[in-house]
Structure 1
């Protein structure tokens, strides 16, 4: 498939849902009775069945599940059979991807795997193959049309975390316990209803500004504020080295150990034509945005209003949101993101009880390799050193130490690169 077309398909948001009042959603769903196994057994339709019919249904359900479970366990516990299934799956994927070669760009053919059968005719494998062919369901197979919906994996498809990361102090106000297919409310905790909102953060692709790529995914409580969510976003702009200037105002170096007290740490979030500022004294980012919009031509001027409440005093349950609708975020001067609401739902017994906002996904950071050894990730950028052949030159720590100090330290500047330390630190952090 054409690379640009494939990437463009990943950027489609929507269609957006109808506006959802989060507070109203919580109120209405809190009155809905959760169906349990006891409710099914007491349902009039079940009671109308005869004892023989109910026994037959119960036997069919329990027997089918037990048979399916036993079959799956027998297959995956046999290394030869499970390896055969993995190989057949690779064969099917390779064949389906081969169908898309005609749509791929010239000179960029996908590599086909040579997975010809090699002594796979043992009795166990033959019996398994006959069993699979006897299954009347055919929609699970990879047909020719499946290639239209397949692509190779990208960096944004991988998750840097092996488990959910807790980035805040939010707690579920309603705690559920799963006992015998029923949900029992813990009487020791308050019963204020709450909801979980899943949001995905997208960035612009640096080399194609019209394309977006997923950066992270978060789960927040409806009772939390917009500021709680924005503080949980891990962004390289929040870890940029700070300039060190002399008395004359010239840049003499950079440091990651100190933070500028007057740096551009403001932020704003534009939701449904309402901009929420950070509430800093004087002119905040929201005021600057309105000032910029007012200078646009009348026909290109969007209708935007400023919220009277800042990010730290605006909770999600007071908002009206649309699923699959991108909302614009700006912080750290000119760093922008796009926030997409994926789902709004009630808490589940399997949800963590504390640590919200939760970080569900983080795209692994891609580090530049050292220009000297081409093996280790670069950690510094050296500017003005004629020995390196290019300026700036990205180097790792060992290569820079092996190079030694330059003859003229005043003409050489060493800039530390973003180390992504916040990605692995516990808890929240700075915006």
Structure 2
């Protein structure tokens, strides 16, 4: 399962050797960010370009210029009617492909045809697209073999890179290497599959605690229960959460946060006492340090190797280092960890109005069909307070994703 989800594992990566090799190359005049196969080739080609007459340079620049294409693309994106037309046409093509090859064909219903608007700009735009002479521009029927809808975790909720909060952000150091880390969660519908939930960029001097603070998880925001003297549940305190820190398992060692929960020690105690079938080897782990003191450059790093995180009961995550590179002059200095990908979270709609995302769940209300019953704040106020015959009703606030 791990090899299919995360890819083939690499050999052990030593960041110290990587930095020493880069420094040695710089001393010999080799620029690690030069894309040419040989620096001398790039220099000789640049000298050849400088020796050309101005008329030849101008002719080459005119031939290679793509300014007209860029201007037309920018103009199309800025005009909302043209961009909407392109988006709707693409969705229609994908929808037609899905309907043609669906395993179960839904019953055809009469649909009201879409209203047609007379827009001269769109008519001219459509005529321009139809007159494109490229044979690969239009999608033939065979293209459906190579087209599919994006999976939920392939959508990105971020329109730009998200920086960390200023109170906990890190800055790049001179000897830092940038690590690309991808976080995976277990699929709700397929418990033996994992889906990508977020992607982050961290300096090599970051700690495991920095990874933990960057990971978005609803279990971090579960409100704390307020109990009565007899142990019965009274309400939920949204100002306090039930999360008491994580346990990281990285290459045979456990790392905790040193809090009262001590998840790392509990994992070790469980593995020491649990019964293992005779045909299965016993999992052995050794205690590590604190996540606040353990830096990433002090750990054995293997690309695409999953590392396990446990917190808040049985909430599990996996994280893997997917890419390692040297610092580039264009990289930002502050704001790390950077979040580059965040899988959108689908929140259920209110069961009453069926329009606004639900914010609360109602338990044991005799007036409602199901328990729990999710509603929005406005519909909750409309229902009113519990009556005498409904004393056992309980209102539970849903996760607001404040840490996202």
Give the TM-score category using the shorter length. Answer: 0.7 to 0.9
The aligned runs of 1:32-431 (5 Å cut-off) are: 32=25, 33-34=30-31, 45-46=44-45, 62-66=61-65, 68-74=66-72, 77=75, 103-107=101-105, 132-133=132-133, 146-163=143-160, 164-167=162-165, 168-173=168-173, 192-259=174-241, 263=242, 265-271=244-250, 273-280=251-258, 284-294=262-272, 295=274, 296-301=276-281, 303-408=283-388, 410-423=391-404
Q: TM-score, normalised by structure 2?
A: 0.77
Residue 71 of structure 2 aligns to a residue whose secondary structure is helix
My pick for the range that moved more, 308-317 or 295-304, is 295-304
Q: Secondary structure at the match of 1:210?
A: coil
CA distance in structure 2 between the aligned counterparts of 1:203 and 1:109, rounded to whole angstroms: 35
The TM-score with structure 1 as length reference comes to 0.73
Alpha carbons 2:362, 2:374 under 8 Å: kept? yes
Question: Does the 8 Å contact 1:293/1:301 carry over to 2?
Answer: no
Q: CA deviation at 1:232?
A: 1.7
Alignment CA distance shift 1:324-1:384 (3 Å)? same
- Listed one character per residue, the Cα deviations across residues 220-274 of structure 1 (whole Å, up to 9, x for unaligned) are 1111101111112121101111111112222222121234xxx551312223x32
Q: How many residues align?
A: 384
For the residue of structure 1 that corresponds to 2:199, the secondary structure is strand
Deviates more, 1:411-420 or 1:24-33: 24-33
Distance 1:354 1:402, change over 3 A: same
Structure 1: 5+ residue runs without aligned partners? 1-7, 174-191, 424-431
**Alignment check: 8 A CA contact 1:97 1:147 kept:** no
Q: Distance in 2 between matches of 1:324 and 1:94?
A: 37
Deviation at 1:304, TM superposition (A): 3.8
The one-character-per-residue Cα deviations of 1:6-34 (angstroms, maximum 9, x if unpaired) are xx9xx732133333223332332344332
1:171 positional shift: 0.3
Deviations 1:295-321, CA, capped at 9 Å, x for gaps: 223542354432532222211112232
- Aligned-residue offset at 1:202: 1.8
Q: Is the 8 A contact 2:99 2:105 kept in 1?
A: no
